[in-house]
Amino acid sequence: MAAKGQRSNSQPIQLGQRLKTARKAKGLLLREVADQVGCSKSLLSKFEHGAASPSLSTLHRIVQVLGINIGALCDHVPASIVHVSKANSRPVITTAANGSDVGVVLERLVPHGAGHQLQGNIHIVPPGHGSVGSITHEGEEIGYILAGRLDLTIGKDTFRLKEGDSFVFSSGIDHSYRNPGRKTAKIIWINTPPTF
């Protein structure tokens, strides 16, 4: 199911299969990954088989255990000085949580591949949805609210942001977010190095 605000012609990522492939490439069992992520083996299996989608924070914990980042779940693009992504053709990763069919959608701006020092997405956040838990990783982040509203929590502080607002912070600080509004929020979100 496409999230409201998601481009219908975007290229959906087969998230479950890519998670399974990455886990097997590391030689890890379902139980080993599930224990480190803090979820059940059966739930992780559902993620891998496409029967459920992880929340953004759970997906981030999974890729950390696998020693990769979310960008690595996308197709690898050979290193080049220039890469252009046409509208409606960028890959997307869809997350969900709490039994919902819809969650945060990440539309990739920077392709995954060697040589990139930035990682960029458009976070498309339906009303009432968000990261569902905090995220911490190496680096620095900057964002710009394209549309809608966002409650961004960094450490113990929560900032109510609206269209046109921007932010920057160290990725090493616990951070999370949620859309408190009635319309879909869209945020350009860039981090460096590509550790998200």
For β-strands 140-147 and 185-192, DSSP reports them as: antiparallel
Segments of the chain with pLDDT less than 70: 1-13, 74-83, 97-99, 112-115
- What is the structure's pLDDT at 1? 37
Domains of the chain listed by start with CATH number: 12-72 (1.10.260.40), 83-192 (2.60.120.10)
- What is the structure's pLDDT at 5? 43
- What is the structure's pLDDT at 3? 41
Largest interatomic CA distance in the chain: 45
- What is the structure's pLDDT at 83? 67
End-to-end CA distance of the chain: 24
- What is the structure's pLDDT at 2? 41
For 87-128, the pLDDT digits (tens) are 888 888 888 866 677 789 999 887 766 667 888 999 999 999
- What is the structure's pLDDT at 86? 81
- Asked if residues 189 and 121 have their Cβ atoms less than 8 Å apart, the reply is yes
For 178-193, the pLDDT digits (tens) are 999 999 999 999 999 8
- What is the structure's pLDDT at 82? 66
- What is the structure's pLDDT at 140? 96
- What is the structure's pLDDT at 11? 56
- What is the structure's pLDDT at 76? 59
> pTM of the predicted model, to two decimals?
0.71
